[in-house]
Amino acid sequence: MTDEQTNETLLEVDAISLSFGGVHALVDVSFDIRKGEVRSIIGPNGAGKSSMLNVINGFYHPQEGTITYQGQARKQMRPHDAAAGGIARTFQNIALFKGMSTLDNIMTGRNTHMSKSLFWQALRIGPAQREEIENREFVEHVIDFLEIQSIRKTPVGRLPYGLQKRVELGRALAAEPTLLLLDEPMAGMNLEEKEDMSRFILETNDEFGTTIALIEHDMGVVMDISDRVVVLDYGRKIAEGTPEEVRANQDVIDAYLGVSHD
Amino acid sequence: MGNSLELQGDTFPQLLLQRLKHDAERPAMREKAYGIWQTWTLGELCEESFALAAGLADLGFARNDTLVIIGDNRPRLYGSMIAAQALGGVPVPAYQDSVAEEIQYVVDHAEARFIIAENQEQVDKALEIKEQCPRVAFVIYCDPKGLRKYDPQVVMDIQTVMARGRELLKADPDKVNAEIQKGKSSDTSIILYTSGTTGRPKGVVLSHENLLVTARNTNAFDGITAEEEVLAYLPMAWVGDNVFSFAMGFVAGFCVNCPESTNTVAQDLREIGPTFYFAPPRVFESVLTSVMIRMKDAGRLKRSLFDHFMKVAKKTGVALMDGQSVPAWDRFHYWLGELLVYGPLKNTLGLSRVRVAYTAGEAIGPEIFEFYRSLGINLKQLYGQTEATVFITMQPDGVVRSESVGTPPPGVEVRIEENGEVVYRSPGVFKEYFKNPEATAETKTSDNWVHTGDAGYFDDEGHLRIIDRAKDVGKLNDSSMFAPKFLENKLKFFPEIKEVVTFGDQRDFVTAFINIDLDAVGNWAERNNVAYASYQELAAHPEVYALVQGCIEQVNQSLAQDSHLSSSQIRRFLILHKELDPDDGELTRTRKVRRRIINERYGDLIEALFDGRTNCFVSTEVMFEDGRQGQIEADLEIRDAAVSQEPSRAAA
Amino acid sequence: MAFDIFLLEVIISGLMTGVMYALVALGFVLIFKASGIFNFAQGVMALFAALALYDFLAEDGWFFAVFGFTLPVWLAIPATGLIMVVLAWVIERTVLRFMVKQNEIILFMATIGLAFVLEGLGDILFGSDVKPLDIGIPQGASDWLLDNFNLYIEQLEIFAAGTAAVLVVVLAIFFQRTRIGRALRAVADDHQAALSVGVSLDKIWVIVWSVSGIVALVAGIMWGSKSGVQFSLSLIALKALPVLILGGFTSVPGAIVGGLIIGVGEKLAEVYIGPMVGGAIENWFAYMLALAFLLFRPQGLFGERIIERV
Amino acid sequence: MFYRESGQLKSSYIADQAMFPIAQDRWFVIGVLAVAFLVAPFFINEYWANAILLPFLVYALAALGLNILTGYCGQVSLGTGAFMAVGAYASFKLVGFFPELNFLIVLALSGVVTAAVGMIFGLPSLRIKGFYLAVATLAAQFFLVWMFNKVGWFYDYNLTGMITVRPIDFFGIRITGPEATPAAKYLFTLTVVAVLALSAKNIVRGRIGREWMAIRDMDIAAELIGIRPLQAKLSAFAVSSFYVGVAGALYFAVYLGSVEPVEAFDINQSFYVLFIIIIGGLGSVLGAFLGAAFIVLVPILLKNIMVGGMGFDSGMAGHVEILLMGLLIIFFLIVEPHGLARLWQIAKEKLRLWPFPH
C-alpha cells in the first residue's frame, strides 16, 4: 500500500449486470477501487472476474449499471477512452504483439502519449524524432525497472512465458496508468517467477502510486499483496473486505476455498 | 590527452584539473544504461565529482576520512573516488559481492563514516552493518529504485548530495579547488583490502605517487594512449581495476566503459571492442570452451573450415605474433584464415581491436594461451600483487612465453632470495598495511624491498618463472629447488591423472604417488580392450602403469629443458590402489593434498620409493560410503621412470 | 401484365444462375470447411475439368491422337472425374502436406499459385483457343414454358439448375449420412476429433479436394456448354466469392441461399440499373451487394455472432 | 562474416534507432544508392529501362504500398490493380487540368486522391476481417476498373477508351512519352521511389508503424491498450493507397505512356503485386524490392531461356511461364513463407555470428 493511499475513490462499479445472449456473466455487482490501493478480484473459474475487467476498461458493455471513473459516471466505457483516461491492463492469455521486439511492444504502450503526425514521422526529424526519443527514454526506465534489459531487442515470440508476462506488464506500465488492471498476472508461473512478479506489482504500487486491480488464482499471492479483496461467484459479489475478513467469510470458504477448483 | 604535454599534478584530482584545460570535452567514462552507452565527458565527470565533494564536505567529510564504496563498476562510483580524493580523503572500495559480514570488517577497520552504495542491495548491506559500525553516519546511493522509504537522514540520493554541493560551489566556487591544491603526492590515494588466504584482510595503502608513477611507466611500456577503449568489468575493489581503469585511464586520457551488468559483459565487450584488455586465466579458458562448444553445433563445412584454419593459426599465428619471418605462402594462408575465421571470430568475441591484453593471477594453460596468440591477439602475462601496485614483471611485446611471466619493467627491481622467494622494489611499493605495522614490517624491509611469498627463479632467457608458494618449496639433497605443487600441477594436466603427491624434500631424488582418473583411464581401457573389475585392478594393470609412465617421462623431458628443474625429474613412482579421499582425511574438502596425513598413512610406501624396492605391500583403513570401516590391501608395484638429459641448448 | 411476366422471367433466370453460383461456391465451402483453405484455384479447376472433358470428346484432342477414338459422353464424364480425383491426390502430395501448419493467408496464396499452374498446364496441354463443349444438353428456350406460361427460359439453364440442385442434395446426403461425410464435418471443427474417427488428415484432404474437383467438373460442364470452354471460364470463381461473403465461408445452406440472392440481385440490377450506367455491371454488382450486406451483418447470413474474448 | 560490429557502440538513442544501425548495412545501402544514381544512368538503354529497371521500380513501389497494408497492418487487399488505376487516372486528369503543374506535385496529388479512395474502400475493414475483407477489396477492383472503362470523363471521351500521357517536362527535362530518354525516366522514377521507400522505413519504425503492427498481431489487445482501430486501419489504407497510387501514376505516365484500364489494371495486376510481397516478404520494406526484382527478372530469364535458348514459340513460352511462376510461388511458400527478406534476415544473422552457428 502506498503512502499516498487515501480513502478517495478512483473507480466505482455500481450495480453492473452483463449478459451474453441470456447467459448472465455479471449480476448486480458493485464495489469501488480506492486511489493507491491493490484491489483483488477473486472467485472460482467462471465467476465473471475477467468479464469484470473487460467491463471496466470498456471491452464489454454492460446492460445495467454505471461505472464512475475519476468522478465521471458512464454507462459504458469505450476502450480508447479507458486507455486515454489512464486505465492500462494485462491479459490472462498473453496478448503481446508477436511480430515485434520487446522494446517495440513496450513502446506501443506509450501510444496514448504520442501524437506527432504522419508527415513528421515519415521524415523522422524534428518533432517526431524528439517524441520518439523522449518516449524511448521512458520505456528504457520501464525496461530497467522490470530488469529485462537483456531481451530489449528480442522478438517477443522467442521469449519464455514468464518473460512474456513481464513484457506485457511493461507495456501496461509504459502507459503511466492511473489504474492498472492485471488479469491473472501470475498464472502458469513457477515460484521464482511469481515472487518476481509480486515484487514488481508491489513496487509499481509503491514507487509510482499506481492503483492496481488484479485477478488472481493463487490465493497465497492475493492475500499477501492485496489491500482489499472482492469475491465473485457465478457473476455475483459474495464478499468483500480485507484479506483477513475474506478469508474468514463463510460464503467465500464455501464457494471458493472449500471447494477444489482447478 | 593525445599530445606530448607532460602532465603535472601530484594527486589524481590535481591531474584532472590539469587535463580539464584541454580535454574537458573528451569522453572519459561510459556506462551502458537504459539501452545506450551513457557518456560522461571529462568535464561532466569532474563537475559531478567536485559537486559531490562539496556536498560530502557539507555533510562533514574531512581530510583523511575514508569513503567506503560498494557496487559494480559505475562512472559515478569512480567519480566518488575522485570526490573523496579531492577533499584529501581516502576511497576504500569493497567487493560488491561480499556478504555483510565481510563489508562490516572493512567499514569497521577503515573507520568509515561514509558509505557510497550503488543500489538497494548494497544499501541494505550497509544498513545491516550499521549497528555494529556506529561510526557510519551516511549511506549515499546512486540508483534510487526501491529506496524511497528509507530514512532520508541517513540514506540519501547521490543527486541530492551533488545538488547541495552545486549550491555551495555557486557561493564559493573555489571551495573544492582549494582542498585539491592541498594534496601531496605522498597522500594516500586509496586503501585496497586484500583477501588473504589466512587471517583477516589487510588494507593495502597506496599513495597517489604509487599509482601515478606506475600508471605512467606502464602506459609508456605498452604505448597506451588516449585512443584506447577499455572495459572496466572487474571488481573496483581489486587493485587491477584501480590501476587499469582509474589510474592508467586518467593518466593516458582514454575512455573507460562500464558494462550494463555482470551478465551482459560478453555483449558489452563486443560493443565496445576494447583495445586494452585484462582478464584472469579462467575468463580466457571459459571463452575458449564456449567457442569450442558453439563450434560443435556448426555444419560440417563450417566446422572443417574452422578446424583447418585453427591448424594454420597454430602453425603460423604465434610466429607472426612474435615477429618471426614466415614463408610467403604461409603468410597468405594465415591471411585467408584471418579473413574467413580469425577476423570474424575475434570480432564476435569483441577482441578484434585488442592491441594489448594481459592475464595474470594464476598459471594459464599453454594451449589456451597459444590459442589466443595464434589468432593474432597480443595476449601477454604479467606477475604482480596489490602491494606492488600490480606490476612486478611483464612480458614485453615479441618475447611472450606461456610458462614464464616476463621481466621487470623499467623502475622495478626483482631479486630471488636464498629460499627461492621473489622479492622486489619499485615505485609502486605500497606505503603500509593500514593500522597493521607488524604485518607491514614482516612484508616490507626498511629499504623498501617487498616479500611476495612466492617462489620462483629466472630461467635461462632471463624471464621470471613462478613455481609455488615459497613456504611449500623444499630442497633436494643436491641443494636444488624442489617445488612439489609445480610438479604435481604439471602432471595433473594429463586427463588420465587425477591426483599426484610428489616427494623429494631432503631426499636425493623425486618420487611420486599417482591416482589415476577412473573416467579417463576407464575409457582408455575400453578402447584398448583392457579388462578390469575394480579400480584397484585397473590401477595395478601393467598397461596402465605403462600409460602413466609415458606421462611422467613426458614431464621429465620438459623439466630437463630447464637447468633449474632438471634435478626435479621424477625417477620412481607408484600408482595408488585407492583414490585419495576427503572422507579418509587424505584430501581437504577443496581437494588439496594433506601431506601430513599421507606421510603418516603411507610412510612405508614412501620409504619403498626411495630404497629401491620394486614392490611394497600396503594395507589401509578406509571408510566405505555406508559408513563402515574396512581394510584395503594390495601389493603395489614401484616403477622407475626414464630421466632425460639436459639438452645442449640449455648448456649454452 | 407483360411487365410482371418480364420480371418473373428475370427472377427465374436469376435463380437459375444463382444455383450455378451456388454450385461453385459449394466447392469453396467444402474445402474451406474441411481444411481452412480458401481455394482460389476452384475456378481454374472448373476450366481444367472442362478442358479435360473436351479432350475426351473431341477429335482434335490428345486422347484421339493417342488412341484413335473418342469417348462417349457417358464414359467421358466419369473419366474426367477420375482425372479430377488424381489431380486432388497430386495436389495433396505435392503442395498441401507441406503446408499443414501455415497460416491461412499463405495457404490462400498457394492456391493462387496453383491456379497459375493449372492455367499454364491447361494452356500447354489443350491450347488456349475457345472450344465448344456439347454433351447433348438441349439448347434454346423451353417451348413448354413459353407456350404454357409465356416465359422465355433457356433449357440449358433449367438443366443446369436441375443438375446443381441434384448435386447439392447428393452432397448434403454425403455429408449427413456417410461415415466419411461425418468425418469431414468433424475435421472442420477439430482436426484431432477427425483423427479419432479414424480417418487420416491427408486422406480427408484428398477426398475433399476430389469432391470439390467433381463439383468443379459439373460447373465446368454447365458453363462450358453455355459459352464454350475458354480461359474466362475460370473467372466464374470470382463470381462465387460474393456468394461466399454473403453466405459465410463455412455454411452449405449459406452458399445456396447466397448464390440465389446474388443470382437474382445481379440479374435484376443488370436489367434495371445496367442500362442507366452503361452496362456490364455484373462484374462488380454482386460484390457491392455483398459488401453492403456485410456492413450490417459482418458475420454473414448464417454465421454466428462471435463473442470476442481476451 | 562481413559484419565486423565490434566497437560500433551507440551512445545516443538517435544512433541506436537509426534506420541502419549497423555500419556495414549503412555503407551497403549508400553504395547501392550511389551506383543506382551515379553509375547506372550512364549505362542505361531503352531495353534496360523498359524491360527491367522501370517495371522493377514501379512494382517495388506498388508492393511497398501493399506491404504497408498487408504486411504491416495485416489487412489483405486484392484491389491493388484498381488503386494503381486510380493513381494513373488521377495523374492523367490532373495533367489535363493543370498542364503547368510540377509533375512531383501531380504525383503527390494522385497519391492523395488514391489515398482518399483507398480509405473509402477501407471502411469495411472496421467491421470485417480476413478473407471477408480480401473479397470485399475485390469489389473495389471490379468496380473501379469498370468505372474507368465506362465513364467517358475519365478518359476524356477518347474513342479508343485509352489514356495517353502528355509530354511532361520536369525542370526542363522531358520525362514522359517517347521523346524522354531512358536515363531521365529512370532517374526520375528512382528518385521518387527512393524517397518514398526511406519515408516508409521511417513510418514503420515509428508510432504509426507500431500501431499497424499491433493491429496486425493482435487487434483486440491493440484496441484495449488505447490504439484506435479506426485510425490505425484507415491510416494504413491511406498510406498504402498513396504509395500504390503514386506507383500507378508512374506506371502510366513514365513507364507505359498509355494504358487501357481493363488490361493494365485488372485483377492479375493485383495478384502480381501480392506475389511480390509474398515472395519478397510480408512486413519488410526490403522485401518489396527483393520481390519486385524476382518477379520482374524471373520471367525475363525464363523467356530468354525458352524463346532464345530452346526455341519455343512465344505463345507456348507464355504458357510455360505461367506454369513456372505458379510452381515457383508454391515452392517459395513451402520453403520460406516469409519470403526473400526472411532469407536475407537469416543469412544476415548467420553472417553476424560467423563463424558461430548460433
Give the residue with greater pLDDT, B191 vs D318: B191
Q: Which of B202, B225, B257 is the last residue of a domain?
A: B257
Name the residue ranges covered by the structural domains of chain D. Answer: 23-269
Give all strands (DSSP E) within B348-412, no chain letters: 356-359, 379-385, 390-394
pLDDT at A262 over 60: no
pLDDT at A5 over 60: no
Q: What is the mean pLDDT of residues A8-33?
A: 91
Give the one of D206, D211, D225 whose C-beta lies nearest to A83's C-beta.
D225
- List CB contacts (< 8 A) between A143 and chain B: 34-35
- The torsion region of residue B490 among left (phi > 0), alpha (psi -120 to 50) and beta comes to alpha
- The H or E element that residue A28 is part of is strand A23-34
How many C-beta atoms surround the C-beta of residue B298 within 10 A? 17
pLDDT at B358 over 90: yes
Kindly state the cell numbers that stand for D153: 470523363
Q: Poorest-confidence range of B223-232, B236-245, B500-509, C182-191?
A: C182-191
User: Which of B164, B152, B90, B83 has the alpha carbon at shortest distance from B123?
Assistant: B152
Same domain, B563 and B479: yes
CA separation, residue B274 to residues B354, B503, D352 (Å): 6, 46, 19
D130 touches chain C (CB under 8 A): yes
Sort strands B90-94 and B66-70 into parallel, antiparallel or unpaired.
parallel
Q: Which residues pair with A66 in a beta bridge?
A: A14
C23-38: burial string, b at 16+ Cβ within 10 Å, e else: bbbbbbbbbbbbbbbb
pLDDT at A261: 45
Q: Using N-to-C axis directions, what is the helix angle for B100-109 and B120-130, rounded to 10°?
A: 60
C310–A20 C-beta distance less than 8 A: no
**What does the alpha-carbon distance between residue B274 and residue A95 come to, in Å, rounded to a whole number?**
41
Q: What is the mean pLDDT of residues B99-112?
A: 93
Average predicted confidence (pLDDT) for chain B:
91
- By the 10 Å C-beta count (0-12 exposed, 13-18 middle, 19+ buried), B473 is classed as buried
**What does the alpha-carbon distance between residue C205 and residue C99 come to, in Å, rounded to a whole number?**
12
C307 touches chain A (CB under 8 A): yes
Q: Is residue B9 within 8 Å of residue B215, measured between CB atoms?
A: no
Q: Using N-to-C axis directions, what is the helix angle for C282-296 and C252-272, rounded to 10°?
A: 120
Q: Which of B469, B489, B505 is the last residue of a domain?
A: B469
CA separation, residue B251 to residues B245, C218, C289 (Å): 10, 90, 81
Chain A residue with CA closest to C305: the answer is A21
Q: Which of B469, B488, B511 is the last residue of a domain?
A: B469
pLDDT at B156: 95
Same domain, B497 and B394: no
Q: Compute the CA torsion angle D204, D207, D208, D213 (nearest 10 deg).
A: 70
Chain C residue with CA closest to D152: the answer is C278
pLDDT at B647: 54
CA separation, residue B340 to residues B319, B343, C221 (Å): 20, 7, 64
Q: Using N-to-C axis directions, what is the helix angle for D285-303 and D267-280, rounded to 10°?
A: 110
- List CB contacts (< 8 A) between A3 and chain B: 149
Same domain, B86 and B145: yes
pLDDT at B10: 92
Please count the structural domains in chain B. 3
Please count the structural domains in chain A. 2
DSSP characters over chain C: -HHHHHHHHHHHHHHHHHHHHHHHHHHHHHHHHHH----TTHHHHHHHHHHHHHHHH-TTSHHHHHHSS---HHHHHHHHHHHHHHHHHHHHHHTGGG-TTS-HHHHHHHHHHHHHHHHHHHHHHH-SS-B---SSPPPSB-HHHHHHH----BHHHHHHHHHHHHHHHHHHHHHHHSHHHHHHHHHHH-HHHHHHHT--HHHHHHHHHHHHHHHHHHHHHHHHHHH-BSGGGGGHHHHHHHHHHHH-TT-HHHHHHHHHHHHHHHHHHHHHTHHHHTS-THHHHHHHHHHHHHHH-TT-SSPPPP----
CA separation, residue C27 to residues B122, C165, C167, C251, D138 (Å): 71, 14, 11, 11, 19
Q: Which residues pair with B24 in a beta bridge?
A: none
Residue type, A101: S
D355–B344 C-beta distance less than 8 A: yes
User: Which of A103, A95, A98 has the alpha carbon at shortest distance from A185?
Assistant: A95
For cell 455487482, the residue is: A29
Name the neighbours of B, counting chains with at least 3 Cβ pairs within 8 A.
A, D
Give the one of D5, D10, D358 whose C-beta lies nearest to B36's C-beta.
D10
**How long is chain A?**
262
User: Which of C127, C120, C129 has the alpha carbon at shortest distance from C41?
Assistant: C120
Which residue range(s) make up the domain with B381?
A: 276-469
Best interface-test mutation with D: which of C236, C287, C305 has the largest number of D CBs within 10 A? C287
User: Which of B106, B114, B72, B108 has the alpha carbon at shortest distance from B89?
Assistant: B114
**What does the alpha-carbon distance between residue D230 and residue D217 come to, in Å, rounded to a whole number?**
16
**What does the alpha-carbon distance between residue D106 and residue D252 come to, in Å, rounded to a whole number?**
13
Chain D nearest-CA distance from A44, in A, is 24
For cell 600490480, the residue is: B390
Instruction: Report helix, strand or coil for B158.
Output: helix
Same domain, B245 and B325: no
Instruction: Report helix, strand or coil for B384.
Output: strand
pLDDT at B82 over 50: yes
**What does the alpha-carbon distance between residue D221 and residue A240 come to, in Å, rounded to a whole number?**
29
- List CB contacts (< 8 A) between D337 and chain C: 102, 106
pLDDT at C1: 46
Chain A residue with CA closest to C304: the answer is A21
C125 touches chain D (CB under 8 A): no
Kindly state the cell numbers that stand for D212: 499497424
A51-78: burial string, b at 16+ Cβ within 10 Å, e else: bbbbbbbbbbebeebebebeeeeeeebb
Give the domain CATH number at A261: 3.40.50.300
Q: Which of A120, A150, A176 is the last residue of a domain?
A: A176
Q: Which residues pair with B515 in a beta bridge?
A: B499
**What does the alpha-carbon distance between residue C71 and residue C77 come to, in Å, rounded to a whole number?**
9
How many C-beta atoms surround the C-beta of residue B95 within 10 A? 17
- The H or E element that residue B528 is part of is none
**What does the alpha-carbon distance between residue C275 and residue C267 come to, in Å, rounded to a whole number?**
12
Q: Is residue B320 within 8 Å of residue B335, measured between CB atoms?
A: no
How many C-beta atoms surround the C-beta of residue C74 within 10 A? 9
- B370 in a domain, yes or no? yes
Q: Which residues pair with B458 in a beta bridge?
A: B464
How many C-beta atoms surround the C-beta of residue B364 within 10 A? 21
Instruction: Report helix, strand or coil for B442.
Output: helix
Kindly state the cell numbers that stand for B600: 603418516
For cell 477512452, the residue is: A81
* Helix spans in chain A (H): 49-56, 79-84, 102-108, 118-123, 126-145, 161-174, 191-207, 219-225, 243-248, 250-252
B548-584 confidence digits (pLDDT tens): 999 999 999 988 888 888 889 999 999 999 988 888 8
pLDDT at A171: 96
pLDDT at C3: 57
Query: Can chain A be said to touch chain B, i.e. do they have 3 or more Cβ pairs within 8 angstroms?
Result: yes
* Preceding amide of A127 cis, omega within 30: no
- The H or E element that residue D28 is part of is helix D23-34
- List CB contacts (< 8 A) between C41 and chain D: none
B596-624 confidence digits (pLDDT tens): 889 988 999 999 999 989 989 988 888 77
Same domain, A131 and A19: no
- Which residues 153-172 of D are in CB contact (within 8 Å) with C? none
**What does the alpha-carbon distance between residue A195 and residue A162 come to, in Å, rounded to a whole number?**
11
Q: What is the ipTM of this complex?
A: 0.84
Give the one of C109, C124, C287 whose C-beta lies nearest to D320's C-beta.
C124
D11–B344 C-beta distance less than 8 A: no
Q: Is residue A180 within 8 Å of residue A204, measured between CB atoms?
A: yes
B285-316 confidence digits (pLDDT tens): 889 988 988 888 888 999 999 999 999 999 89
pLDDT at A248: 86
- By the 10 Å C-beta count (0-12 exposed, 13-18 middle, 19+ buried), A45 is classed as exposed
Give the one of A109, A114, A118 whose C-beta lies nearest to D225's C-beta.
A109
Q: Is residue B32 within 8 Å of residue A150, measured between CB atoms?
A: no
User: Which of D25, D21, D26 has the alpha carbon at shortest distance from D8?
Assistant: D21
Percent of chain B with pLDDT over 70: 97
**DSSP 8-state assignment for residue B143:** -
User: Which of B202, B262, B227, B335 has the alpha carbon at shortest distance from B71?
Assistant: B262
D16–B36 C-beta distance less than 8 A: yes
Q: Is residue D90 within 8 Å of residue D245, measured between CB atoms?
A: yes
Same domain, A47 and A31: yes
Q: How confident is the model at residue C310 (pLDDT cuts 50, 70, 90)?
A: low
Q: How confident is the model at residue C306 (pLDDT cuts 50, 70, 90)?
A: low
Percent of chain A with pLDDT over 70: 95
Chain D nearest-CA distance from A36, in A, is 21
Q: Starting from the edge strand earliest in sequence, which strands make up the sheet with B450-458, in order?
A: B413-416, B421-425, B450-458, B464-469
Chain C nearest-CA distance from D314, in A, is 12
Chain B residue with CA closest to A139: the answer is B34
**What does the alpha-carbon distance between residue A169 and residue A190 come to, in Å, rounded to a whole number?**
17
Assign 3-class secondary structure to A85-129. CCEEECCCCCCCCCCCEHHHHHHHCCHHHCCCCHHHHHHCCHHHH
Which residue range(s) make up the domain with A172?
A: 99-176
- Which residues 30-89 of B are in CB contact (within 8 Å) with A? 33-35
pLDDT at D186 over 90: yes
- A23 in a domain, yes or no? yes
Average predicted confidence (pLDDT) for chain C:
81
A109–D222 C-beta distance less than 8 A: no
C95 touches chain D (CB under 8 A): yes
Chain A nearest-CA distance from B267, in A, is 9
